[in-house]
Amino acid sequence: MLVEEILPLTLEQTTPNGHLFIVCEVLLVHDCGTDSSDKIIENLCAEYKFIHPVWLTRNFGQHAATLAGMASASCDWIVTMDEDGQQSPSDICHMLDKALDASLQVVYAKSTTPPPHGWLRNMLSKTAKEIALKLLDSPNAVQFNSFRLIDGEVGRILAAYCGSGIYLDVALSWIAGRIGYCPVVLRNEMERPSGYSYIKLLAHFWHLIIALGTRPLRFITIMGLFSVAIAASLAGYVIFLKMFGDIPIQGWTSLIITLAFFSGCILTALGVIAEYLALSLTIAMGKPLYMVSMKPTRSGSVI
């Protein structure tokens, strides 16, 4: 169990490089899941004094839950990690050494083992991360991982201003100038079905692309200009053949193909612009990313 692995770290420890540290608190964020995790959190809080719950009013998503925990943290460093058993708390000391020795603000875990998923999901995940790195409109392009060590001040500032629709790791790359990696070994996760279907992963990837800044728009603009250049070249070639080659030109086929091609380009560009406008409107309206309540909402409660 993850909490039992963290328990020894709540006593003063020394990293391999001689830095003293202690885990002061463990924040468990409940996002109104259907697996009775609220009862487990309450039992853990009653058993361990260093565990503090964060109750969300509904499921706002993984990044919102992470930000809710970061906003509630009060220590010098913040560690974000999953509860599925893949990530080992014993690696925190190595990540802390990396941060302190190199004066880093954020340290991402970098797995030295392949992800424990099927080949198709691993391939799609790798491709999505490579696309995101190419499109990331920031000089601090990073390889994302949910196992992170974040400077406490950076984490709390980020959680304070980060609005709805902002991708956590993209926002971290905006404000953290010193980002590094620490090699870790991922373990096999607990035997349970994944909460992410391919449809949800696709939606997660699209959310990431929209949050990456202006580079996707620039790509669409370049594609549009390139398409116009091809059309102009093709028109010049057809005119040349008509005037000097004495070759009959059948126009209906090429006309339909050209209209379909450029209509697709226009619709693609308008679709991306519309997504950006929708995201900007959501942020401008002040839609909350999360809301913390005193207790979890239980089904069947008497009001």
Q: What is the pLDDT of residues 214-236, one digit of tens each?
A: 666 666 667 777 777 777 777 77
Same domain, 220 and 73: no
User: Based on C-alpha coordinates, what's the Rg of the chain?
Assistant: 25
Same domain, 262 and 132: no
pTM: 0.69
Same domain, 68 and 176: yes
Same domain, 52 and 86: yes
Report the b/e string of 93-131 with b at 16+ CB within 10 A: bbbbbbbbeeebbbbbbebeeeeeeeeeeeebeeebeee
Q: Looking at the domain assignment, is residue 83 inside a domain?
A: yes
Q: How far is CA 222 from CA 217, 218, 225, 231, in A?
A: 9, 6, 5, 14
Q: How far is CA 60 from CA 79, 87, 107, 174, in A?
A: 20, 23, 25, 22
Percent of the chain with pLDDT over 70: 64
Tokens 């991708």 appear where? Answer: 167
Q: Mean pLDDT lowest for which of 117-126, 128-137, 172-181, 190-199?
A: 190-199
Closest CA to 109 of 185, 56, 46: 185
Beta carbons within 8 Å of 1's beta carbon, 6+ residues apart:
none
| Residue with the larger pLDDT of the pair 44 and 239 | 44
Same domain, 173 and 220: no
Q: How confident is the model at residue 301 (pLDDT cuts 50, 70, 90)?
A: very low
**Tokens matching residue 184:** 């870790």
pLDDT of 77 strictly over 90: yes
Name the average pLDDT for the chain: 76
| Residue with the larger pLDDT of the pair 11 and 136 | 11
The pLDDT value recorded for residue 120 is 67
Same domain, 171 and 263: no
The pLDDT value recorded for residue 281 is 60
Q: Looking at the domain assignment, is residue 210 inside a domain?
A: no
Q: Looking at the domain assignment, is residue 207 inside a domain?
A: no
- Domain of 258 in residue numbering reads as 215-284
Same domain, 127 and 177: yes
Same domain, 89 and 12: yes
pLDDT of 68 strictly over 80: yes
Beta carbons within 8 Å of 254's beta carbon, 6+ residues apart:
234, 238
